[in-house]
């Protein structure tokens, strides 16, 4: 409580000083104003490709757009707090900012999972439309305010892979008893078909596969998976992207720190978050393509898709998991109702627009 009160009073003082000298949003110099310095804790190894560097990019944009009035020091997982303690650290004021993924916090608030990925849910374009134009951000604010947090989408991996498996999956029976690293709602759905899932930090995946603690693991996609060398400890790479058709990375701000900012710096943080979101999506599109070619051409990775009976079982299990959660948690129901209604709305055009085009492109061999 003393730490939170100190943070609150200190930031109010800084905010007042910054506001007094501001001439206009985005146009200012640090010379006549007191610089605000924040710490950002993350769930990623320091400077890890796209995820860690995405946090760096967010911090750099804030400093650049604020004309140097606001600086953010980025800390990798374990430097200030462990990877899986970002949510609490920011909410309690240990750091003013965080960068992570919301589905890690299901033990804190079940509804958080909808703000990373929903099995068989919306793609990245559809998800961003929900957040920015369909009420998704407002719901996210509402859920996180109870934990003293202000959230933003700050990156997205796009469609993720289904993961690395040490053995080939030819039937539903082959899934039984596997130990799989897979967080969120998709992990619960896997549990429903006989798989044991765990939420292992990314930095521990390689060793866990190598030593047999895990039989299979989902991480992100080719770019990040290659960086961790997962192809060295598992042979089969599954492309059946049912689990995370879109995966949002979140930026969080301590709510008291946020409220202490002058309006122009709030705008800086908001615009920096949106720009960083787009930048990461674009980077993953090209880096995943390059890394996939390396994995297949240079390392002999074998691409596979799950058998139809496995995907059908996963869909049925996903629906059961979702229904069970929304029946037990009113906050989850509110978010899920908004999410599914928006998906039904935008999917009609996705099907006759983007999906129809992709099928046409494949058909003509373009």
pLDDT at 14: 43
pLDDT at 31: 40
Is 130 annotated to bind a ligand? Reply is: no
* Residues 6 or more apart whose Cβ sits within 8 Å of residue 48: 76, 202, 224, 227
* Residues 6 or more apart whose Cβ sits within 8 Å of residue 46: 52, 74, 75, 76, 77, 79
Contact 304, 235 (CB under 8 A): no
Hey, what CATH topology would domain 36-361 get?
Answer: D-Maltodextrin-Binding Protein; domain 2 (3.40.190)
pLDDT at 19: 38
CA atoms within 13 A on the CB side of 96: 22
pLDDT at 268: 98
Q: Exposed, middle or buried by CB within 10 Å (0-12, 13-18, 19+), for 144?
A: buried
Q: By C-alpha distance, which of 141, 162, 118 is closest to 250? A: 141
**How far apart (Å, rounded) are the C-alpha atoms in residues 193 and 182?**
14
Q: By C-alpha distance, which of 43, 181, 41 is closest to 101? A: 43
* Residues 6 or more apart whose Cβ sits within 8 Å of residue 201: 43, 77, 82, 83, 84
**DSSP notation for 184-227:** HHHHHHHHTTT-EEE---GGGHHHHHHHTS-SEE--S-HHHHHH
pLDDT at 121: 97
**DSSP notation for 5-26:** HHHHHHHHHHHHHHHHH--BTT
DSSP bridge partners of 218 = none
Q: Tell me: the pLDDT tens digits for 143-158?
A: 999 999 999 999 999 9
CA-only gyration radius of the chain, Å:
21
CA atoms within 13 A on the CB side of 219: 28
Domain spans in the chain, listed from the N-terminal domain onward:
36-361
pTM for the whole thing?
0.88
Is 219 annotated to bind a ligand? Reply is: yes
pLDDT beneath 50, residues of the chain: 1-32
Q: Exposed, middle or buried by CB within 10 Å (0-12, 13-18, 19+), for 133?
A: exposed
Q: Tell me: the pLDDT tens digits for 225-261?
A: 999 999 999 999 999 989 999 999 999 999 999 999 9
């Amino acid at each position: 409580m003393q730490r939170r009160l100190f943070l609150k009073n200190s930031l109010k003082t800084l905010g007042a000083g910054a506001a007094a000298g501001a001439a206009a949003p985005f146009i200012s110099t640090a010379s006549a104003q007191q610089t605000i310095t924040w710490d950002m804790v993350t769930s990623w190894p320091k400077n890890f490709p796209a995820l860690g560097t995405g946090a760096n990019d967010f911090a750099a944009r804030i400093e650049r757009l604020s004309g140097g009035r606001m600086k953010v020091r980025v800390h990798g997982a374990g430097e200030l707090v462990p990877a899986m303690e970002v949510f609490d650290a920011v909410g309690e004021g240990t750091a003013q900012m965080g960068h992570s993924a919301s589905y890690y916090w299901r033990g804190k608030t079940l509804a958080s999972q909808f703000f990373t990925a929903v099995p068989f849910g919306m793609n990245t374009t559809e998800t961003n439309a929900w957040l920015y134009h369909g009420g998704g951000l407002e719901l996210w604010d509402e859920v996180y305010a109870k934990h003293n947090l202000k959230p933003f989408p700050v990156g997205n991996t796009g469609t993720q892979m289904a993961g690395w498996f040490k053995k080939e999956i030819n039937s539903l029976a082959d899934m039984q008893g596997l130990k799989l690293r897979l967080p969120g709602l998709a992990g619960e759905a896997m549990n429903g078909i006989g798989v044991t899932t765990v939420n292992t930090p990314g930095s521990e995946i390689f060793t866990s596969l190598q030593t047999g603690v895990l039989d299979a693991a989902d991480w992100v996609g080719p770019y990040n998976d290659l960086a961790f060398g997962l192809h060295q400890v598992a042979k089969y790479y599954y492309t059946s992207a049912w689990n995370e058709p879109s995966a949002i990375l979140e930026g969080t701000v301590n709510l008291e720190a946020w409220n202490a900012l002058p309006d122009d710096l709030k705008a800086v943080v908001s615009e920096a978050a949106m720009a960083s979101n787009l930048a990461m999506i674009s980077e993953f599109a090209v880096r995943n393509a390059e890394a996939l070619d390396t994995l297949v051409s240079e390392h002999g990775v074998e691409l596979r898709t799950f058998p139809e009976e496995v995907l059908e079982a996963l869909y049925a299990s996903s629906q059961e998991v979702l229904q069970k959660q929304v029946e037990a948690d009113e906050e989850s129901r509110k978010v899920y109702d908004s999410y599914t209604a928006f998906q039904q709305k935008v999917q009609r055009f996705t099907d006759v627009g983007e999906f129809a085009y992709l099928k046409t492109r494949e058909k003509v061999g373009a």
